[in-house]
A = this chain, B = another copy of it.
């Protein structure tokens, strides 16, 4: 059975919605997601550092549309490992696991990896929104469209705009 490495932020967790909401709470202005196209989250959101390090950010992030049904389908067909860059933010670790347990209860604790760099983890297929993770990966690669990567072409990489497209590909 092939192993898929599935990213969290920007693939399962809709972090853009969370950043936009928290920014609107500060400024009173809810920006359109398209305004952030082509920029990394840290460039697009002036309060990025404050918000990403705040208690509850990862525990309350919205679920990406279609990801629960999509991941549950793939979980029967492939060996699924949730692979999240998380150790940059120590408080995020427990929040991320509790969030997974709440929304994806079919994923058990043996299927989770929280790390600082993804190239130490092996798999056959990687689904991620960041080219920095996909570039080194030797297997099949799927970039999940998010505003920061919307204008990029990643070599040897399929692109999925949403979870329906992922399910059709796999």
Contacts and interface: CB of A to CB of B under 8 A. Distances in A.
- Size bracket, chain A contacts: 20 to 34
A114 to B, nearest CB: 5
A90 B101 contact: yes
A69 to B, nearest CB: 23
Given A120-B121, A122-B122, A112 B97 contact: no
The number of times this chain is found in the oligomer is 2
Interface in A113-162: 113-117, 120-123
Given A94-B93, A115-B112, A120 B3 contact: yes
A109 B121 contact: no
Nearest to A79: B120
